[in-house]
Structure 1
Amino acid sequence: MTDGPQPWFASKAEGAEKRHAPAALRNRDAIAAVLRDILPERGLVLELASGSGEHIVHFAGLFPALEWQPSDPDAAALSSIAAWSGESGLSNIRTPLAIDVQADNWGMDRADAILCINMVHISPWEATVGLMQGAARLLPSNAPLYLYGPYLRSDVATAPSNLAFDQSLRIRNPAWGLRRVDDMMDLAQENGMLFCDLVEMPANNISLIFSKS
């Protein structure tokens, strides 16, 4: 079963502003294991579509030498990110930004790494185009762009659960759906980004790693 989009719910013990994304607890350590090999020792890491904020708080605690910039276009998400960040007491998490990946200006001019977890399949393709274009603008040479989620591959049979998930996404919104890895690679190349690696992840997900050429 894949980590599909889960409805957020407010934890009764934590107050209304904090949201909880169940998939974050299941995948955060597997993602962190990949990040250990690709993140710079120091610098600014931008997370796009931070959602509840649970991922960035976890990563900021694991990688204290890095500064972390959360973002999301949704007001409820921004409140949740701020609540989780404030409770953590971590000083290396910046105030969340309201970044729409399709905008030409993200309100910052540089990042040393960019992460985007479980966004590509629950947004229109134009959002992925904007993500790749923005990464090309902000990242210096050789800096990583990390993507996580379920994808389709021409050389690997798609798990029945992912096919069902893809169908359910397209029923909810025809512009959503699992993207093809080949299309992601082509888009990266069009924007001066290099494909670096594909890492198999639990629950029929994968990590896609790109870098600025």
Structure 2
Amino acid sequence: MPAMQLHSPAAERNRQPILERLQRLLPPRGDALELASGSGQHVAHFAAAMPGWTWQPSDPDPAALASIAAWCAGLPNVHAPLALDASDATWAGVPDRVDLVLAVNLLHIAPWAVCGALMAGAARHLSPAGVLVVYGPFFEADVPTAASNLDFDADLRRRDPRWGLRDLAAVDAQARSAGLVRRERVAMPSNNLLLAWGRSPGERR
């Protein structure tokens, strides 16, 4: 493995389950923006398995950008990675319209304000039938939280008090304020969820 290629064991484990859900959820072709692409393992795996989709990976970390480029070398349907912080107001460099905005393991390792920025940015850039897909662990009011997720949340908050698992009802409220409504909730391995939001009927244009 080249030195610039970062490796995430979690990405290695969850890339196939996420891919299988994306293949069920999405049409055969489209344009995708991935936020916080990290090592690049996800986008490389998805692009190879979904050649009808064009992928724009992104990350604010220069080391991650180099790793993404290394993982995606030779994949014709992956654009050069974009230096992008999801909390930026403008999402500079992002295409005006994309059919998928994908964020894997982002919201719990970012300040809460990133959630609102994510929803607003997705609403601004999604095509009329496009979807925002978010993967990760969440708190749900009527669902018991796994002990491992409670431990994970406590560890995150020790590392940075701005981090932590998010309450799904609060995330949905942020989505609604941006004109998005949740369409999918899929239970995933290791007590994670895959969630999808799209434009509310009055917002499709």
The TM-score, its normalising length taken from structure 1, stands at 0.91
3-state DSSP of counterpart to 1:30 = helix
In the alignment, the residues of structure 2 paired with residue 31 and residue 53 of structure 1 have an alpha-carbon distance, to the nearest angstrom, of 14
State yes or no: 1:118 paired with 2:105: yes
In the alignment, the residues of structure 1 paired with residue 142 and residue 80 of structure 2 have an alpha-carbon distance, to the nearest angstrom, of 42
| Equivalent residue, structure 1, for 2:90 | 105
Structure with larger RCO (C-alpha < 8 A, sep 6+): 1
Alpha-carbon deviation of 1:127? 1.1
Contact 1:38 1:144 in 2 (8 A): no
* Alignment equivalent of 1:171, drawn from 131, 146, 158: 158
Higher strand content, 1 or 2: 2
Alpha-carbon deviation of 1:142? 2.4
Alpha-carbon deviation of 1:52? 0.1
Whichever residue aligns with residue 42 of structure 2, its letter is H
1:35-80: per-residue Cα shift (whole Å, max 9, x none)? 0122232221110000000000000011001101100011110010
3-state DSSP of counterpart to 1:165 = helix
State yes or no: 1:71 paired with 2:44: no
Task: Give the number of equivalent residue pairs.
Answer: 198
RMSD between aligned alpha carbons?
A: 0.9
In the alignment, the residues of structure 2 paired with residue 95 and residue 195 of structure 1 have an alpha-carbon distance, to the nearest angstrom, of 30
In the alignment, the residues of structure 2 paired with residue 110 and residue 73 of structure 1 have an alpha-carbon distance, to the nearest angstrom, of 21
1:151-201: per-residue Cα shift (whole Å, max 9, x none)? 000000100110010000000000000001101111100000011011000
| Equivalent residue, structure 1, for 2:29 | 42
Alpha-carbon deviation of 1:16? 1.9
Contact 1:169 1:177 in 2 (8 A): yes
The TM-score, its normalising length taken from structure 2, stands at 0.94
Runs of at least 4 residues off by over 3 Å: none
In the alignment, the residues of structure 2 paired with residue 96 and residue 208 of structure 1 have an alpha-carbon distance, to the nearest angstrom, of 24
Contact 1:45 1:69 in 2 (8 A): yes
State yes or no: 1:83 paired with 2:56: no
* Alignment equivalent of 2:148, drawn from 122, 143, 161: 161
